[in-house]
Chains A and B, each alone.
Chain A
């Protein structure tokens, strides 16, 4: 059975802190790993990672994939209160284009 596990479940930080979110997976026919941010509504797309070792960056967010160790990390530097959200990791399988989601990490950034 495919598994996507995120850690920690939740964390509370103060503005300006850096956070690192983890995602490990056991998935057959792996194609890509995706990160999403979910606030009150549906998830918004952040990154899609297909190759190991290539860091993707968007502003204060960055992410990298390790296909040998089967995990990915999402970093947020200089956090702001607007970064408060649930961050979801999902794995895209080669067959059927389906996503399997992890349980999410709830991040709360305090002023």
Chain B
């Protein structure tokens, strides 16, 4: 149980493109999902908390207009990197948990490269 699927796994695109990343909980419902960013050889930094049916909660320093989050159902959250630039290149990972005080389970991540 507790499988989280993330798609796509790899994106290479030109500067100025908007990129959408999907995160799905396959065998459970997740009212809350989380989006992280990870730079090479660094730990995971929480970007935002995605809440089903309401607005996402962004961490300090994360631009909400740049990183659009939509959590339209109990099994799907999407992160859209709008007008991506090379500095947005990174490894983006989503997670979901089955409830309060339950471990977060992670998707396989999306490696985004902006040329």
Contacts and interface: CB of A to CB of B under 8 A. Distances in A.
Interface of A: 31-32, 34, 36, 41-45, 48, 50, 88, 90, 92, 96-104
Contacts of B93: 42-43
B32 A97 contact: yes
Contacts of A44: 106
A39 to B, nearest CB: 11
A42 B43 contact: no
A42 B34 contact: no
Given A42-B95, A42-B106, 19 more contacts: A34-B104, A41-B108, A43-B93, A43-B106, A45-B2, A45-B103, A45-B104, A45-B106, A50-B101, A88-B43, A96-B49, A97-B97, A97-B101, A98-B49, A99-B34, A99-B44, A101-B43, A101-B44, A102-B43
Nearest to B6: A42
B46 interface: yes
Contacts of B45: 101
Interface of B: 2, 6, 32, 34, 42-46, 49, 57, 93, 95, 97, 100-101, 103-109
Contact of B44 (A31, A43, A45, A50): A43
Given A88-B43, A97-B32, A98-B49, A42 B103 contact: no
B69 to A, nearest CB: 15
